[in-house]
Amino acid sequence: MNNSPLPLFDAWFAEAIASEPIVPEAMSVATVDADGRPSSRMVLLKAHDERGFVFYTNLESRKALDIAANPNAALLFHWKSLKRQVRIEGLLSLTSDAEADAYFATRDRESQLGAWASDQSRPLESRETFDRRFAEMHSRFDGIAVSRPPFWSGYRLVPDRIELWQDRAHRLHERRLFIKSGNLWTESILYP
């Protein structure tokens, strides 16, 4: 039986966009490094479809190093106004260069320049150093389009497990679990 959770996610996401007051596309990305140490951080969902869930980052960041060591990851959306959360697990892989270029072109110029100026996740001696590097990028790209840095791209999480959680009175929550095997999704429910 193919009970894909993706149409339900789409409906919940549309409701979150309509009702969540602050950044409904915010999601936690949890990774594990080569030593098994977990790490979680907030990023923004930039695309999703039947192929997976996409976010963008510096390929030299801590999360990218974790992903290189272990591509298994988890996403978590929490929409407090709707009393819902969605947990998604699967494997991460890089988006295509064409996808990364297309998304990078939609970012505002200051964010594009910031991508060039930042050594994301690495130690920074002072804020002045970063401000200077940012100013250098302004000069470097003065009067020309800002190209995507070679160290910046996107990741797509291809889900194999999705849990949709809905708050209910007296902590009698509803938990729907979808597990993918091959091209088929099966659905079950979990105790709260």
Nearest to 47 by CA among 118, 5, 90, 104: 104
One of 41, 122, 127, 171 is an active-site residue; which one?
Answer: 171
Contact 31, 91 (CB under 8 A): no
In terms of C-beta density within 10 A (0-12 exposed, 13-18 middle, 19 or more buried), how is residue 114 classed?
A: middle
Q: Angle at the Cα of 23 (from 116 to 32), degrees rounded to 5?
A: 65
Helix (H) or strand (E) holding 81: none
Active site residue 171: yes
- HEC-encoded secondary structure of 159-180: EEEEEEEECCHHHCCEEEEEEE
**Helix spans in 55-181 (H):** 62-69, 97-106, 109-117, 127-140
Active site residues: 171
